[in-house]
Amino acid sequence: MRDSQTGPRRSRDAKPARLARLGTAALLGALAAAAALAAGQVVAIFTGASSAPVYAVGAAAVNLTPAPLKDYAVAHFGVHDKQLLIAGILAALTGIALLAGIAAMRGFALGAALIALFGAVGVAAAETQPQSGPSWALPSVLGAAAGIGALRLLTRAYHAARTQLDRSAGIQPDHSTRTEHDHSTRIRHDPGRRRFVATAAGLAAGSAVVGVGADLIATRRSSVAAARAAVRIPRPAYPAAPLPYGVHPNVAGLSPFFTDNEVFYRVDTALVLPQVRPDSWTLRVHGMVDRPIELSFADLLHLPLHEHDVTVSCVSDPVGGPYVGNARWIGASLPDLLRAAGVRRGADQLLARSVEGMTIGTPLGSVLDGREALIAVAMNGEPLPVAHGFPARVVVPGFYGYASACKWVTDLYVTTFAASTAYWVQRGYARVGTMKTQSRIDVPKPFARVAAGPVTVAGIAWATGRAIQDVQVRVDQGPWQSARLAAQDGPDTWRQWTYDWHATPGSHGLQVRAADSSGRFQTEARADPLPDGASGWERVVVTVV
Ligand SMILES: Nc1nc2c(c(=O)[nH]1)N[C@H]1C(S)=C(S)[C@@H](COP(=O)(O)O)O[C@H]1N2
Ligand SMILES: [Mo]
């Protein structure tokens, strides 16, 4: 009856109808993309988890992320920055998929071309990853093929539903002459429509189950957890000296002296943790050396092992931030290895490279100046956790992680700063990432309410390679007072401190500053992490009641 109504009424109905059709078309695109991703994940069971399109595109996106954005992400989302990136990529993909669905309604080839284009992006991203082989293209290629197939299936089912409906309505498959209202009441009971909805729902559910399942299987299959559990770290030939008495004042809320591996901060660019089998791992020492060396993991464990306590921190750590941790490491001596290879004159940079292509440059002079620099295989009494570089990583005291602490290391290249530029240096960070003297207040927490009277202020201070000589605290704008220093373990670990404060009611600002063994206190001048590490004095405001 509405068919007989006048123009204005009809156009009011036609608009939502057109929107509904657009929405359905877009949904088809999204479903096709879901099928593509699921198929990609299935192929990645065989080609490796990192070759799946989402992870490959994610890894490429990480490498394209500007340094300030990375600092922002690390500061605001911490260890969730990667989930955020994956979510962003899925959102972008969904956008393109919606367009592909709408395009496919105009002409199937156009929609298919969009999916193929996205597959090509996946191939390009996968093939530019350092660990990739030719097979890394397969998840994206076969995924795109599956996506196009799914789009075909869905658009066919959709068109079939519409034609059948139009036929049963006794009209030509041209919808411009009647309103969508009758259409939708009729369509609800139409068998073609039911078949279409079933196809769409089946694809959606199937893609979700298969995609997530395949991701889990791929991750399980590549996991080196069992191989890691089988590693036996030999007793170190050079054990660490016994921990001095009193390295840790027993104050509730103060960081433990050694940071548990489970809570040790993690910063890296790896979306999928590299799973490196110790039996196929090798370490190459080459470049400006007289005798290039190649070691297996067994060779490495046969070298005399050193045990040494080192605090590691990240250049992205803001003042008072969490990206610092202290561990007892066991590893082969990096300077001994370099001396065995015979470093040539003129070389000034050690460029470490990891299996997934991270490059980390450290001044050779510092590595060879007598400090305990390690190719570490153990962290706090167990083989390196996978997230912290299993089976081997570099640890050089005195520098930020980006400039000294290559995880999953597989290559040591002796070169010059002029000839080779490391990953984060290409992105604007300082060529030499010397760790600044830093200090942090652990207790009381910012904005804590504490009772008037004696309050213990406590925290950590570090300047690895240079040791901490002094820590001072001040309340509001009062005079700087020396804190009580805990024992110093070695030159390369943080030092803990306490300060007895007689708190008076009101709001107070507590500040801390530390001096390294040169006697120089850290600067008050505030600086951002980029390019060479944050500076400034931490200030914690508390309310005393
Ligand atoms: N292979 C690899 N090694 C890496 C990184 C990385 O992204 N990839 N990040 C570096 C940075 S920036 C830091 S701060 C330290 C962090 O080490 P952790 O995760 O064990 O704390 O690892 C360094 N080594
Ligand atoms: Mo870092």
The CATH number given to 438-544 is 2.60.40.650
Ligand that comes closest to the CA of residue 355: 1
Index of the ligand 1 atom closest to the CA of residue 325: 21
Percent of the chain topping pLDDT 70: 93
Distance CA 13, CA 8 (A): 9
Protein residues with CB under 6 Å of any ligand 1 atom: 264-269, 312, 314, 325, 354, 358, 360, 388, 401-402, 405-408
* Residue of the CA atom closest to atom 1 of ligand 1: 407
Beta strands in 243-300 (DSSP E): 282-287, 293-296
Unique residue bearing structure tokens 């939502």 = 16
- The residue whose CA has the least distance to atom 10 of ligand 1 is 402
- Start-to-end CA span in the chain (Å): 77
- Region 325-329: mean pLDDT is 98
Position with higher pLDDT, 278 vs 188:
278
Q: Is 542 a residue whose pLDDT tops 60?
A: yes
Q: Tokens for 459?
A: 């925290």
pLDDT digits (tens, 9 = 90+) for 10-26: 455 578 888 888 999 99
What confidence score (pLDDT) does residue 185 get?
55
pLDDT at 189: 62
Task: Find the 296 Cα to ligand 2 centroid distance in Å.
Answer: 27
Q: What is the pLDDT of residue 13?
A: 57
Written as one letter, the residue type at 209 is V
Which pLDDT belongs to residue 394?
Answer: 99
**531 has a pLDDT exceeding 70:** yes
Residue 182 has pLDDT above 80, yes or no: no
Fold match, 282-426 / 438-544: no
**Higher-scoring residue by pLDDT: 219, 176:** 219
Q: How far is the CA of 438 from the centre of ligand 2 (A)?
A: 15
Q: 138-168 and 191-222 helices cross at what angle (nearest 10)?
A: 170
Q: Which of 131, 375, 407, 438 to mutate to test the pocket of ligand 1 (most atoms within 8 A of CB)?
A: 407
Which residues, at least 6 apart from 299, have a Cβ–Cβ distance to it below 8 Å?
none
- Residue closest via CA to ligand 1's atom 24 equals 406
**Substitution site in 402, 438, 494 for ligand 1 pocket (most atoms within 8 Å of beta carbon):** 402
CB atoms within 10 A of CB 46: 12
Phi, psi dihedral angles at 161 (to 5 degrees):
-60, -45
In this structure, which residue's CA is closest to atom 18 in ligand 1?
A: 266
pLDDT given at position 243: 96
Q: Which listed ligand is nearest to 329 at the C-alpha?
A: 1
User: Which residues lie at CB < 5 A from ion ligand 2?
Assistant: 267, 314, 401-402
pLDDT of 69 = 82
Query: So what's the pLDDT on residue 461?
Result: 98
Residue 220 has pLDDT above 70, yes or no: yes
Q: How confident is the model over 232-258, as pLDDT tens digits?
A: 999 999 999 999 999 999 999 999 999
Across 132-144, average pLDDT? 96
3-state secondary structure 389-445: CCCCEEECCCECHHHCCCCCEEEEEEECCCCCCCHHHHCCCCCCCECCCEEEEEECC
Nearest ligand 1 atom to the CA of 264 is 21
Q: How far is the CA of 423 from the centre of ligand 1 (A)?
A: 11
Of 64 and 462, which is predicted with more confidence? 462
* pLDDT over 60 (residue 231): yes
Task: Please check the confidence at residue 73 and state whether its pLDDT lies above 90.
Answer: no
Q: What pLDDT score was predicted for residue 187?
A: 54
For ligand 1, the distance from its centroid to the CA atom of residue 267, given in whole angstroms, is 5
Q: Is the predicted pLDDT of residue 483 greater than 90, yes or no?
A: yes
Q: Looking at ligand 1, which atom is closest to the CA of residue 274? A: 1
Nearest by Cα to 319 from 20, 122, 534? 534
Q: Is the pLDDT of residue 169 over 80?
A: no
**What digits encode the pLDDT tens for the residues 443-455?**
999 999 999 999 9
Q: What is the CATH number of domain 282-426?
A: 3.90.420.10
Alpha helix stretches (DSSP H) within 65-179: 67-77, 81-106, 108-127, 138-168
Of all protein residues, the one whose alpha carbon is nearest to atom 13 of ligand 1 is: 401
Q: 10 Å Cβ neighbour count for 379?
A: 25
Q: Where are the domains of the chain?
A: 13-222, 282-426, 438-544
Q: Which pLDDT score is estimated for 84?
A: 85
Tell me: pLDDT of 156 over 50. Answer: yes
Averaged pLDDT of the chain? 92
Asked whether the beta carbons of 359 and 329 are under 8 A apart, the reply is: no
